[in-house]
Structure 1
């Protein structure tokens, strides 16, 4: 009965989340259903397992949600994201439209801009470019996914994405874990994704397909759609409803003022991770009032938080005159972080209840018994949980909450570098999460005025297939050569 309860709870979560029900209601309800089937005390599971685990997630990662959302909103309202996208389009021209869209998305998301901010700015630009180049608009979502939701989310060393931050407290790693393998994985994703998009574009030109009929107001309708909002908030760290608040600049930011904050994020993150924090005396962290913790458990979150703070200050200083409603803009960014953070925390609470049930022992044993070693079983665990929850961050946290200490022990016993574990876990979480019910996919299609039938196959090819291929390459290379 306990195992049946796990399946019923997961099924309820997936089905109703796909229908647009709030995960804030679904996650505790599904957790209690699983506990009920297992004959476990319901109120104790709600207050002592679900809520404590959800609160623990917020305590660890809310600063990244908050600072990332504020930075993204400032970049949006100052016209910086528009400037970066326009710069890439101008430099690459009509003959390389797809590449321009991919690189524009990659540049802003690797620089710390929230995914949904990038969606709402890059999608209108992509429509204009694809229309001028007579490329089918059904390929726009795939081009945006390749640039924003693959290698810059999970593979590029130092990426400030929440997914890259989640393994750090578990493994004691930094945002630059396994940098060489991360670069290799990024090249695999980018090269294979661009190859597929060029192939699809060429086939469409041979068939005389053209751009197609456009839906100009799709972006505005998506921003006001409550169903899109509910699905989006479990997928990434920005509440789309807040994009309408604040006040956007009437003109794009100068390119230098737009790009410099993105560079600051990467540079400060690198400096904090590899130079500043390792040299600090933080012995005080062992004191009970600081949680009796260690630098390894907090260094990653500290590095990303300082980097985003530095980028926020840089954005304000460089774009002061283009932020006419600074307080409203920052308020909107702060508000935009709350619902996604609490939604993902609720998924984590659900996972904690499931992991605490006696029936979960059978699931854990099955995962650890998967042939191929710890790296393969870790990749399978993060893939499956991200797919079921439709959330890379939620699935990854659930997997590491339940199995993280076990994988640390296995790594020590087998000689696997924890940086390699980190990179495999993050890339694994960013593959099968891009299933049809994923909030980012649903939102992006709505923003582009397209349906799953129009564009989902190409999203699968550039989002799932390329990431799975990169994951295989990282596991094989890491197993043979070790972490680098």
Structure 2
């Protein structure tokens, strides 16, 4: 009984204090030790050094290359102005009367192209704010637009997404980033149309009631004003062609390596004695080549190349260590006898196995306040059980990732807090619409994909 209490109490504390802004680098090991003290099963210090650290180190070993290359690539795209060029190009072609679609599509293209979520947020804010202002649409819908494009289907559902959360299951299930192609496309369509429909309906209703863009004197709008159509043309930024080239390169290299090179018998045989082909290799190679291309093609737009690469590399450390810390906490929790009891209870519930996969992933993501953190814990503690349930590994991969992108976006989520801060808005003003797009919409899409899979067996 004490073991169950220790798990529930520390999970609640993890969520509460993370919401209050306490770093998980400190919070996770402290709560892991507290759980063992309450359960009375292991010495607290052993839990930290003998359980927490091996689990965290194992995560770093598997995923640090993805975080590192992704952060550097995103930094180069942001500093060079390439991300801004792409966003503005799409917004201009779609038109200001369709500002919501323009913001979502531009954001999703950058995210699917490998630009990190936080870089996308900063790149899209001035463009999105300008578009909504010119269309006189309420600014409070901007966080929902950016979040829908960055935190949902391009992060978790679209097959081939180079975002690191989509690479995580590959190591456990022997899949690749294109796993569950049909399920991923179905889920993406549901998220996109459900989310954009909601925002458009809400925006039109607000405008019909007389609400416009609003008065936002403290929004840092001097940045957004420089991104109007006329002044954008005069700015020294790379053209659309060379800005888009690195993203196309990531797509092509990912696809070729994943579907042809690493699936060839000769290559698989070559790496068989080293544990087989690692599912993250394709995206790491693709991002690395794209980094080289960025350094060459954007050389006149990046004043300090060494500093930019350094800043990108340093920028990868906090996200990867935050997630590893959450995985370390999960490594301690899964060692408690009470967790085995809870796990057996969950696995034994009379429901389709694929539904158990989704529920476990989204609940843990919600508690951790992080899609990648929750997914990391789920993979670490339940991955083996899922593989022995007789489910297609590709279905497990896609459903787990999509489900993790549901409850992860509760108010205490770090990306949500960052997005609202960048947009100079607060939870009261914008979270209802943001939450609909990033919590309810992914959960509906995941459930629809589960039903589709159970009926057809198609992945």
Same fold (TM over 0.5): yes
- Say if 2:211 is the partner of 1:209: yes
Paired position in structure 2 for 1:263: 248
Shift of 1:49: 1.0
CA distance in 1, matches of 2:245, 2:349: 46
Cα offset for 1:11?
2.1
2:78 is aligned to 76
Q: Is the 8 A contact 1:27 1:349 kept in 2?
A: yes
Shift of 1:125: 1.1
Q: 1:483 to 1:418 in 2, by over 3 A?
A: farther
Q: For each residue in 1:263-302, what CA deviation from the matched residue of structure 2 results, as whole angstroms up to 9, or x when unmatched?
A: 1111111111100111243445454xx4xx222xx1x210
User: Structure 2: how far apart are the matches of 1:316 and 1:378?
Assistant: 41
Out of 377, 398, 403, the position equivalent to 2:377 is 398
* Deviation string, structure 1 residues 226-278 (Cα, Å, up to 9, x no partner): xxxxxxxxxxxxxxxxxxxxxxx962210011111111111111111100111
- Deviation string 1:103-136 (CA, Å, 9 cap, x unpaired) is 1100000000001111011011111111110100
Task: Name which of 218, 236, 239 aligns with 1:251.
Answer: 236
Distance 1:125 1:476, change over 3 A: same
- Structure 1 Cα separation of the partners of residues 319 and 423 of structure 2: 22
User: What is the alpha-carbon distance in structure 2 between the residues aligned to residue 219 and residue 365 of structure 1?
Assistant: 54
In the alignment, structure 1 residue 315 sits paired with structure 2 residue 294: yes
Equivalent residue for 1:191, pick from 190, 193, 209: 193
Runs of at least 4 residues of structure 1 off by over 6 A?
none
The residue correspondences of 1:13-92 to structure 2 (distance < 5 A) are 13-39=14-40, 40-92=42-94
Q: How big is the shift at 1:50?
A: 0.5
Q: Which residue of 1 aligns with 2:228?
A: none
CA distance in 2, matches of 1:208, 1:171: 53
Match of 2:118 in 1: 116
Aligned length: 446
Is the 1:69–1:333 contact (alpha carbons within 8 Å) kept by the matching residues of 2?
A: yes
Q: Matches of 2:30 and 2:239 in 1, distance apart?
A: 49
Of 245, 257, 279, 1:272 maps to 257
Aligned to 2:267: 281
Equivalent residue, structure 2, for 1:472: 447
Q: Deviation at 1:386?
A: 0.3
TM-score scaled by length of structure 2: 0.94
**Structure 1 stretches of 5 or more lacking a match?**
222-248
Which residue number in structure 1 is paired with residue 157 of structure 2? 155
Checking the alignment, whether the CA contact within 8 Å between 1:219 and 1:449 is kept in structure 2 is no
Asked if 2 retains the 8 angstrom alpha-carbon contact of 1:218 and 1:447, the reply is no
Two-structure CA RMSD over aligned residues (Å): 1.6
1:95 correspondence with 2:97 = yes
Quote the Cα distance in structure 2 between the aligned partners of 1:250 and 1:41: 60
Q: Counterpart of 2:227?
A: none
SS in 1 for 2:77: helix
Change in 2 beyond 3 A, CA 1:219/1:112? farther
Per the alignment, residue 388 of structure 2 pairs with 409
Q: Which runs of 5+ in 2 are unaligned?
A: 224-233
Given the alignment of the two structures, is residue 328 of structure 1 paired with residue 307 of structure 2, yes or no?
A: yes
Q: 1:218 to 1:384 in 2, by over 3 A?
A: farther
Match of 2:407, SS state, is coil
2:457 is aligned to: 482
1:318 Cα shift? 1.8
Give, in whole Å, the separation in 2 of the partners of 1:218 and 1:383.
35
